[in-house]
Amino acid sequence: MNKVYDSVIGAIGRTPLVKLDRLTRMHRVDGTIVAKLDYLNPGFSKKDRAALAIIEEAEAQGILSPGQTVVELTSGNMGTGLAIVCAIKDYPFVAVMSKGNSVERARMMRALGAEVVLVGQLPGSLPGQVSGGDLERVNEEAVRVTAERGAFRADQFVRDGSWRAHYDHTGVEFWEQTGGKIDAFVDFLGSGGTYAGVTKLLKQQNSEIKCFVVEPIGAAAVAGHDITQPEHPIQGGGYVISNLAFLEGAPIDGCLQVSGDKAKQVARELARVEGIFAGFSSGANVAAALQLLQSDLRGKTVAVMICDSGLKYLSTDLWS
């Protein structure tokens, strides 16, 4: 559809859905993976959707005043989305992020006009591996900055816009683009907003669709596993949080685990075999889908998100 938008935020969402047939053939699995290319959003990630929904929800509720500063903790993707939305809507934006996240994200947010506050990791934490403890330090700083500046906290882990964006739009797009021909959906957990929104919509359309959460091996808190490796390279999620607010009432048919090495391997294969240049969590999603097609869901269709762009990880070992 040809359309001229009033601003770049009009281009958020309605991303393409593609089959990963070359990859499934390479892995010799029977079935289909359909991948939503949300790295084609203006901020190069699915978080653009939630950023726009959270700000518009706050405006509608009257809890965000004109010109008020917006603050949020981020691994980089939500911050990028908020930087874009806030720039268009004239809200100053402060992103609070762990130093363990890739430097490209901070540079991109600053280029988009955001102020970026970087928070040191816990003693012993490794760059590129942000744990739940590291995230808590970021949250403490975000709380401080919010209070100091009288800011609005976007709070992607609790604001309804975070999951509603995916219920109202992403899930609908999956359903319409496939003509309802989806057997399963898998999603790597960060805030849980994408998982909750998409699964609630898909289950309403067809209760037989199976929905699986994806977590890192050794950090599968939602699955109830012992935590043996809270640090891992899959940036943007796997924070060892078992009580994610958005998962309350969200359908979960099973839990899958993917190692950091496997996520890297499949992300590299996506680039080389499918021409899709994506990040760690996208690799984790596709790796989990391959698991299902090799076992209980042989011959079926599994839907996944391509969460963000590989351009955000050029300084990491993903592309070394």
Catalytic residue chosen out of the listed positions 281, 282, 300, 312: 281
- For the beta sheet containing 254-258, the strands, ordered from the edge strand earlier in sequence to the opposite edge, are 17-19, 32-37, 301-306, 184-188, 210-216, 254-258
In the numeric block, the tokens 């490209």 are attached to 104
| pLDDT of the residue at 235 | 87
- Average pLDDT per block of 10 residues along the chain, 320 residues long: 90 98 98 98 98 98 98 95 98 96 92 97 86 89 98 97 98 98 98 98 98 97 94 89 94 98 98 98 98 96 98 92
List, in order of start, the domains of the chain with CATH numbers: 8-45+162-319 (3.40.50.1100), 47-153 (3.40.50.1100)
In the numeric block, the tokens 């938008």 are attached to 5
What's the pTM? 0.95
The question of whether 65 is a catalytic residue gets the answer no
| pLDDT of the residue at 1 | 56
Helix 47-61 and helix 77-89: axis angle, to 10°? 50
Antiparallel, parallel or unpaired: β 184-188 and 210-216? parallel
Joined together, the tokens standing for residue 238 give 């796997």
* 320 burial via Cβ count (<10 Å: 0-12, 13-18, 19+): exposed
Catalytic residue chosen out of the listed positions 36, 45, 46, 47: 47
Residue 226 phi, psi (nearest 5)? -65, 140
Backbone dihedral region for residue 223 (phi beyond 0: left; psi -120 to 50: alpha; all else: beta): alpha
The question of whether 259 is a catalytic residue gets the answer no
| pLDDT of the residue at 45 | 98
